[in-house]
Chain A
Amino acid sequence: MALSHLSSSSPSRCANLLKLLSSAISLRRPISTDTTPITVETSVPFTAHQCEAPSRTVQTNAKELATFFRDMVVMRRMEIAADSLYKAKLIRGFCHLYDGQEAVAVGMEAALTKKDCIITSYRDHCTFVARGGTLLEVFAELMGRQAGCSKGKGGSMHFYKKDSNFYGGHGIVGAQVPLGCGLAFAQKYCKDEAVTFALYGDGAANQGQLFEALNISALWDLPAILVCENNHYGMGTAEWRAAKSPAYYKRGDYAPGLKVDGMDALAVKQACAFAKEHALKNGPIILEMDTYRYHGHSMSDPGSTYRTRDEITGVRQERDPIERIRKLILSHDLSTDKELKDIEKEVRKEVDDAIAQAKENPVPEPSELFSDVYAKGLGVESKYMQKSIYRHKGDELPSQAFGYNNPSEH
């Protein structure tokens, strides 16, 4: 950042050279390694239930802000690209986009380690990327190709990444929360000293199984953090029409809760760090992330029949998570506007490249239909099942279809 001052005050003979140098250096993004602490206040204070709220003052640094910016730009670009792919009929079925909510994914990841588990619903593309998933895995899975994270067999709602403890990716509203409490149980059982973040929406908050799971988690002192991503609409139903009490952070009753500005990545980070510490000592806690989705519920929903366009543009202007970080970076002089725009261009290219690669990727082999139904070995019956399918098609029975059933493998 000091370089820009240097080049403007240097003698003209060296000015061009220095300008060249500074632009060359800016491509190396100096802020990406700068870890001098910066103190920032969150946009709004936290609201607490049955606990003491953490401070509004958050410690961060240039490197972290740069990471936040870049990661959120990747996510935003990825989701918008998915929108286009869906309209081009390369992505089929259901596609639930996360743009607007990126701050929750990046803020949470900043507070956690890969030993901590995350489980979420069907709006999982960005959470998957935050956990280390690649753009190719995302687009290939969305297009049903082999290189997809679930080999093309899961689809948009079933992204998983076992090696970074990302447990998906679930289509049935609310069903992931008991699973998440089970993950927390396993962590306690194995003395992992890690926590599980189970994410759900304001619509899922009314599911009975959440209360059941919270009760059990509180009884057994499990390190479970229930995170309500409140984007204020359960598909087409606004929260005030679905919930008698939309104070989701208070729903835990005996379990403490915290309401967080979910469009502020630093607030999310602070809250998640606080929750992790709490859960390891005292059992479950609820976090309510006040967030917003720009798209409709899914690609089949225009998103404008139950809310006004003014509302959407209003949130975009005032609370957009990427713009907030951009303003922070610029106001602290950590980077220039041009550099940030360059990052966006670079990301756009990265996303386009991944899409191109994914388009080239083949669809799954027919034999993949029968693989991974069971963990290992299969009963005889499936062999008959296969035979009848191929008989219908008049195809030659591919020998590899019997590969996994080959007794000689044992």
Chain B
Amino acid sequence: MAAIFQGVGAAAPLSSSPSNSFDSNKSVFSPPRSFSVVRSDGIVNLNPKGRSAQRLISNAVATKADSPAASSSSKPGHELLLFEALQEGLEEEMERDPRVCVMGEDVGHYGGSYKVTKGLAKRFGDLRVLDTPIAENSFTGMGIGAAMTGLRPVIEGMNMGFLLLAFNQISNNCGMLHYTSGGQFTIPVVIRGPGGVGRQLGAEHSQRLESYFQSIPGIQMVACSTPYNAKGLMKAAIRSENPVILFEHVLLYNLKERIPDEDYICNLEEAEMVRPGEHVTILTYSRMRYHVMQAAKTLVNKGYDPEVIDIRSLKPFDLHTIGNSVKKTHRVLIVEECMRTGGIGASLTAAITENFNDYLDAPIMCLSSQDVPTPYAGTLEEVTVVQPAQIVTAVEQLCQ
């Protein structure tokens, strides 16, 4: 059950004991000081606009087994699809802060190729919801330039893969200008779009850019997986002073969930406890979360008790949550959609080995997509990504 902290009056606990924010009864480790996680500050400060600072509901995300992060039972909330949750988050932020604008291909009059920006152009006008020509390099650069002056653009790549054309702008300008200017400029952009392997979309439209972007210093990367965290991460990303890349997945846009009515964000650097367990830590994100949960059903029937964590924050990793889990279960399985070489899983394996090697009873297992361009044929495409059966086998192997 998710615990939502009502940050009324007193400050939300942004202290060195973040385990309190996870309402998981299983989390018994109070972290040693060096593990403190600094979180995105949820405080709103819009002095130029004369608004009073609002305390946000800084959300805890631990849930019951098998159910996605849910709202508190005291408020009914409302049901919607993931793309609608993104749209809601975006719309709320645009209303809240007039500096937020959206730019991308077909985001305005068309309503967005995945309907994430539907209705926004009508509501906010052409200067705030900008249809760009097909020119990723320049409109990404323009968004970054605008951000240098204090605007907060949300730049959409119609497919994440298209942002490869803007790699220079994202790497050198977005990621580095804060540093190379000695702190003079912040770049509060959000770069978002759908990626991942879809249904026979072909190699060029099935890319996982998180592996390419992860080395860029100065950016943060998050991946949403449920309507709840999609809205929460979208809002947090927009409010962050840092550039954030928000990875959505083509196949998750129609997931349905009941989310709270009240304002909330999800901390950008936090992982999500999907299913507490004892035997093995399964780390995953985005679409693979669902393959893992499907495998978890089978595993539970076979008598295993997997702990499933949706890492959500791809850069930086939430090594506090992950570390606590490793110390409990001593076994780690990473299930990702990146290709084996140079993916998020590869980095995560290194990070865990470097920091928690003493706690591991077995080598870390990493299930990734095959190092191939995603084929068009459905049968081949299926084998390209990790399937639940493979996850079950891997856990069985790991727990021998």
A interface residues (Cβ-Cβ under 8 A, vs B)? 117, 119, 148-155, 158, 160-162, 167-172, 175, 177-183, 185-190, 208-209, 212-213, 215-216, 219-220, 371-384, 388, 405, 407-408, 410
Instruction: Enumerate chain B residues within 8 angstroms of A372, measured Cβ to Cβ.
Output: 178-179, 182-183
User: What residue in chain B is nearest A166 (Cβ atoms)?
Assistant: B184
- B316–A378 CB distance below 8 A: yes
- A186–B141 CB distance below 8 A: no
User: What residue in chain B is nearest A151 (Cβ atoms)?
Assistant: B182
Q: How far is the CA of A168 from the CA of B184 in the complex (A)?
A: 11
Specify which of A151, A161, A185, A384 is in contact with B146 (CB 8 Å cutoff): A185
In the complex with contacts A213-B141, A376-B241, A380-B319, A183-B146 CB distance below 8 A: yes
Most buried by A among B135, B141, B241: B141
Whether B257 is near chain A, meaning CB under 8 Å from some CB there, is no
Instruction: Enumerate chain B residues within 8 angstroms of A208, measured Cβ to Cβ.
Output: 137
- A376–B41 CB distance below 8 A: yes
Total A-B pairs, Cβ < 8 A: 195
Whether B101 is near chain A, meaning CB under 8 Å from some CB there, is yes
Instruction: Enumerate chain B residues within 8 angstroms of A383, measured Cβ to Cβ.
Output: 34
- A175–B36 CB distance below 8 A: no
Q: How far is the CA of A211 from the CA of B45 in the complex (A)?
A: 38
In the complex with contacts A171-B172, A178-B140, A384-B133 CB distance below 8 A: no
Q: Kindly list the 9 A-B residue pairs having the minimum CB-CB distance in the complex, ordered from nearest.
A: A182-B145, A379-B316, A178-B141, A179-B145, A212-B138, A182-B142, A375-B241, A212-B135, A151-B182
Most buried by B among A160, A375, A379: A379
- B241–A183 CB distance below 8 A: no
- A175–B141 CB distance below 8 A: yes
A-B contact pairs, 20 of them (CB 8 A): A151-B182, A167-B185, A175-B172, A175-B173, A178-B138, A178-B145, A179-B142, A179-B145, A181-B142, A183-B145, A186-B146, A212-B137, A212-B139, A216-B132, A373-B179, A374-B218, A376-B242, A378-B316, A384-B351, A407-B38
Whether B81 is near chain A, meaning CB under 8 Å from some CB there, is no
Whether B217 is near chain A, meaning CB under 8 Å from some CB there, is yes
Specify which of B149, B168, B354 is in contact with A186 (CB 8 Å cutoff): B149
In the complex with contacts A179-B141, A212-B133, A376-B41, A154-B180 CB distance below 8 A: yes
User: What residue in chain B is nearest A117 (Cβ atoms)?
Assistant: B149
Q: How far is the CA of A212 from the CA of B133 in the complex (A)?
A: 8
Q: How many Å from the CB of B116 to the closest CB on chain A?
A: 21
Whether B198 is near chain A, meaning CB under 8 Å from some CB there, is no
User: What residue in chain A is nearest B313 (Cβ atoms)?
Assistant: A379
- A219–B133 CB distance below 8 A: yes
In the complex with contacts A186-B150, A208-B137, A407-B36, A172-B168 CB distance below 8 A: yes
Specify which of B137, B181, B185, B316 is in contact with A178 (CB 8 Å cutoff): B137
Instruction: Enumerate chain A residues within 8 angstroms of B242, measured Cβ to Cβ.
Output: 374-376
- A209–B141 CB distance below 8 A: yes
- A379–B315 CB distance below 8 A: yes
Instruction: Enumerate chain B residues within 8 angstroms of A377, measured Cβ to Cβ.
Output: 38-41
